[in-house]
């Protein structure tokens, strides 16, 4: 399954400038952490002035995604949205008629 994740933190908990939490977001990008959680990071984009990260993840379940996000739990909030590709959506629409 594919998930869109938006993670938001504040300037006070920004891992880019706060040494106490510097390793939290970085851990998400470690291959060993991703493998342990069963999550593949398809892509990650950062809007630094908004303290927001947008990620596309591939995982078998939202439980895997939540395990993956655990290191950043104490520095901000995240929303997880399961999605399909446009081609999959079109196939669903065609089969629903």
C-alpha span between 58 and 43 (Å, rounded): 10
Q: Is 14 in the site for Zn ion (CB under 5 A)?
A: yes
CB of 18 to Zn ion, least distance (A): 8
CB of 38 to Zn ion, least distance (A): 27
x/- mask, Zn ion, residues 46-65, rule CB under 5 A, reads: -----x--------------
When the beta carbons of 10 and 81 are compared against Zn ion, the nearer one is 10
């Amino acid at each position: 399954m594919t998930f869109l994740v938006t993670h938001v933190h504040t300037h006070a908990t920004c891992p880019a400038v706060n040494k106490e939490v510097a390793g939290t977001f970085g851990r998400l990008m470690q291959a060993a952490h991703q493998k342990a959680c069963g999550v593949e990071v398809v892509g990650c984009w950062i809007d630094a002035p908004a303290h927001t990260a947008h990620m596309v993840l591939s995982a078998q379940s939202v439980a895997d995604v939540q395990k993956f996000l655990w290191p950043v739990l104490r520095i901000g909030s995240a929303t997880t949205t399961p999605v399909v590709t446009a081609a999959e959506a079109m196939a669903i629409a065609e089969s629903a008629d």
